[in-house]
Amino acid sequence: MSNIIEPHGSASLNPLFVADADERARLVEEAASLPSIVVSSASAANAVMLAGGYFNPLTGYMNKADALSVADNMHTTSGLFWPTPVLNLVENAGEIKAGDRIALKDPNVEGNPVLAIMDVEAVEEFTDDEMATITEKVYATTDPEHPGVAAFNSQGKVALSGPIQVLNYSYFETDFGDTFRTAVEIRNEIGERGWSKVVAFQTRNPMHRAHEELCHMAMDRLEADGLVIHMLLGKLKPGDIPADVRDDAIRTMVKLYFPENSAMVTGYGFDMLYAGPREAVLHAVFRQNMGCTHLIVGRDHAGVGDYYGDFDAQTIFHDIPEGSLKIKIFEADHTAYSKKLNQVVMMREAPDHKKEDFVLLSGTRVREMLGNGEAPPKEFSRPEVAKILMDYYQSLNG
């Protein structure tokens, strides 16, 4: 067994999925007779992350005091370092009260099957001011146009807190069987491969040449044993490329351009928060839980629009208390192909370059080219990857 980094906040991983099949069947039966609510997509995603061990050592949804404390200073009331509130918010709790045992139903699967059973410890309402404070602290804005802010504030203000037992992985396991992995599974596979120094790369898009080279760069400089490409499989914003297309593009790139046994392609079930710096820290927490020692954090990591400075998601790691996390950050600048050097470089490491010395294309321009059946230049995108994306965009125009 290789020497794998410890999870966050405990000596071993405590996933909340009920692994014992008999016990699970018993709970599914019990759930049928319990009062139930259909939760929000964000609450369901939190349950899936808790189930897989990604949110270790949390045992369920936070109460009001913990959520406010985490928003304010990135620690729960008991002192656990944690960057974003993990809540189950509803518009109206109805008859549900503290002490009840309830079934949480999945909003994202037809027929709303039971996702988890919850022991309700508290039913508490946030004031408008408290919701605004959490929003401002976590997202660094209260602009309702921000997709994360909009999603957070659309769920309701009543928090149901308490421990949960999770009965399935929602649609992630069925729709993304080849890619969806729990933190437990990734940690086990890292062990089987004998890796101990492991780099994680977060993505919600297909990977272009610059991303690929950034992963190689990080692995070389850190002398890492392996790379885990970890893609978001949850709810994205309109216009994002569907997971199956991204998956195909990334797997093709790994097969052709990475040495054997050097990279794992995996995915996780979560709804993007677009919370920039705070979400970057959350990414680090669950990458540590899945056994990675380093996380690549690039320009505007987990950001959206112009809400965050280019490197805010890196500098937040300089500001958190020493020892909060065991995982380390690999700070990346924007990477691009240098026509002068005939290779991909980090822009800050090429101070003698002007803008025109790089092959730079906007996302909009790339989508336009792909839609017209034009391959972006090979310095920008591997031809085999471009082909997959062209086929997808042309199917939209078909």
56 is catalytic: no
Q: Nearest to residue 2, comparing CAs of 224, 194, 290, 226?
A: 194
Give the strand pairing for 158-166 and 114-119.
antiparallel
Of 204, 209, 348, 367, catalytic: 204
User: How many whole angstroms separate alpha carbon 112 and alpha carbon 339?
Assistant: 53
Contact 112, 38 (CB under 8 A): yes
Burial of 189: CB neighbours in 10 Å, binned 0-12, 13-18, 19+: middle
204 in catalytic set: yes
Angle between helices 277-289 and 312-319 (to 10 degrees): 70
The number of angstroms, rounded, from the C-alpha of 351 to the middle of its chain's C-alpha atoms is 33
Catalytic residue among 205, 246, 261, 348: 205
Residues 33 and 42: their CA atoms lie apart, in Å, by: 25
Sorted by sequence, the CB contacts under 8 Å of residue 244 that are 6+ apart come out as 176
Q: Write the DSSP symbol of residue 345.
A: E
CB 187 within 8 A of CB 200: no
Q: Residue 13: which of 286, 225, 284 has the closest Cα?
A: 286
Residues 6+ apart with CB under 8 A from 5: 196, 198, 288, 291, 292, 293, 326, 327
| Torsion-angle region of 334 (φ positive above 0: left; ψ -120 to 50: alpha; else: beta) | beta
Looking at this protein, which amino acid is placed at residue 68? L
Distances (CA, A) of 318 to 135, 293, 322, 360: 22, 17, 9, 30
Question: Please, what sign has the CA dihedral across residues 253, 277, 155, 160?
Answer: positive
Question: Tokens for 340?
Answer: 């002068």
CB distance 332 to 218 below 8 Å: yes
Supply the residues annotated as catalytic: 204-205
